Amino acid sequence: MRGTDAGWRGVALRIAWTIPGSMFGLLTLLNAVIWHTGSIGGVPAWVLAVLFVLWTVLATPLCFLGAMHARRGEVAKDPTTTNKIPRVVPPSQCGLLTSPLAVAFLGGILPFGRSRANRNCGFGRGLTRGPLLFPFPSLPPGVMYIEVHYIFASMFQYHVYFAFGFLFAVSLIALLVTVEVSIICTYFKLCMEDYHWWWQSFASGFSVALYLFIYGIIYLVTDLGGLTGGSSVFLYLTYLTCITLILGYTMGTIAFVGSHTFVRKIYGSVKAD
């Protein structure tokens, strides 16, 4: 925002409307399909109206109040001396590592990849025996794979889930791995004298959600073979999209904060004349 009157209002509006707006739009579309099929499982219209009022009357003004408070605050200072003129990024010969999209998508494999141990443990009927899962099945981490399978089974197959303590530990490990991968990708980019790391760090964390979406599609094909009808598939994909967006924004934000802290820390240690 940099203390300008032109920037902070747009930033606050995008923050207040991007994530809640996408979620509210998907929820409205989901209920429209449910109402069209004659099901009674949809959210009543008055509940949607109350949510919309709370969003526009309460959440959005509070977001603007927070933006106004941040605008009056002190602008964060650079940890070291910087040039006013941006330097030219030199061409690199590293191939795949120079592409921000490639680095971001590769970064999402590590927190979500399926390990060989997961594959041999017999978790999931179709997912563990099929050849479709991920392009790197021998990766050792596989942090989220098993727990995501059980969560999907409890949500869409009415299985009982009770390992919430283990889920909390796995979530912490997944967050830690996501931050570490983002920091490593940022460090490689800085080593190539490329300072455009901001969106790459966010995309590195967000790509975990893309692999979750791919997992959900394969889960639909392999484990939910009895799910018939266009409306049922549409409901499943809508729920999956909501979960993917929430996880993506969360992981992307945490990955960016980790990389931002890392960059400020290492450049704060540099002694410049």
What's the CA angle centered on 174, arms 140 and 241, to 5 degrees? 110
| Neighbour count for residue 244 (Cβ, 10 Å) | 21
Residues 6+ apart with CB under 8 A from 39: none
pLDDT in the model for residue 139:
36
| Whole-number pLDDT of residue 130 | 35
Distance CA 216, CA 188 (A): 31
CB 202 within 8 A of CB 102: no
Are 238 and 26 within 8 A, CB to CB?
yes
pLDDT given at position 6: 59
Length of the chain equals: 273
Query: Which amino acid is it at 138?
Result: S
CB 22 within 8 A of CB 241: no
Per DSSP, the residues of 156-176 read: HS------HHHHHHHHHHHHH
Token code pair at residue 139: 């990766």
- Determine the Cα–Cα distance for residues 55 and 16; give it in Å rounded to an integer: 9
Distance between first and last Cα of the chain: 29
Instruction: Give the pLDDT confidence score for residue 3 in this predicted structure.
Output: 45
Identity of residue 54: L
pLDDT of residue 92: 67
DSSP label at 73?
S
**Which amino acid is it at 82?**
T
Per-residue pLDDT, 156: 81
Q: Give the per-residue pLDDT at 136.
A: 35
Q: What does the alpha-carbon distance between residue 223 and residue 155 come to, in Å, rounded to a whole number?
A: 13
pLDDT for the residue numbered 253: 93
Question: What DSSP character marks residue 83?
Answer: -
Q: Which two tokens stand for residue 222?
A: 């392999």
Residues of the chain with pLDDT under 70: 1-6, 92-98, 111-143, 226, 271-273
40-74, pLDDT tens digit by residue?
A: 777 888 888 898 898 889 888 998 898 888 888 77
